Amino acid sequence: MSYEALKSVLSKGPSRAALYSVRIPKFGISENNHMNFLCDAVSVPGIRFNTSIALGQEFMGTQRDMPTALVYAKPLTMSVIESRDYIIYKALKRWHNDICRNANQPGITGGNGRSHRMNYYNNYITDLEIVKFEYANRSKILSGSMSLPDDCYDEVMRFTFINAWPTEIGPLQYSSMPDAPPVSFDIQFTYESYNVSQV
């Protein structure tokens, strides 16, 4: 690598893991119709090719791996730090109730009011976005052109998970210890595929 290329890489610095936003346009809870919440961690799944071996395609006795299927690793996992009003947890429970009737049990002791029945697939899926930000470049900061706090960040990449839905809402852990961490829980989503913009 040349000196100029190395200088260019080093001047930009490493990617900051904490600068991201999770957005779920459907089942929204905020004014802009997005469920935009505070995550402690998000793991963007990988992607791989399944392969099969092809023998002697060009040269006798040689073999090569040929792609047969594109596989999106699952699940999409995130850890959510909950607020005092439990907005995100309640929204996810409503979403689960849209997937499965009576997932939130009504508390009826008799009759069939507690029976589960799955909804139609298209009624509960939605696209889910993870937007990756980085601090604005140095020239933008020095020029003084930033007028809003949001101007401090540049969107560098956006992951769109197509037809996602939550397969699991993790347990809520409570503690009586005075130095206990904030309440958080894990969510797992499945999806069909995902798109990475600005590639």
Q: Residue 169 has what pLDDT?
A: 94
Q: Which two tokens stand for residue 172?
A: 């809520």
- Of the pLDDT bands very low, low, confident and very high (cuts 50, 70, 90), residue 126 is very high
Burial group, residue 157, by CB count within 10 angstroms (0-12, 13-18, 19+): middle
**Amino acid identity for residue 189 in this structure:** F
Q: Residue 32 has what pLDDT?
A: 58
Separation between Cα atoms, residue 120 and residue 163, nearest integer Å = 13
pLDDT digits (tens, 9 = 90+) for 58-85: 788 888 888 999 999 999 999 988 888 8
Q: Give mean pLDDT, residues 168-174.
A: 93
Sign of CA dihedral 160, 195, 44, 158: negative
Average pLDDT, the chain: 81
CB neighbours of 42 closer than 8 A, spacing ≥ 6?
20, 22, 76, 77, 78, 79, 130
4-8, 23-27, 186-190 — which one is most confidently predicted on average? Answer: 186-190
CA 78 to chain centre: 7
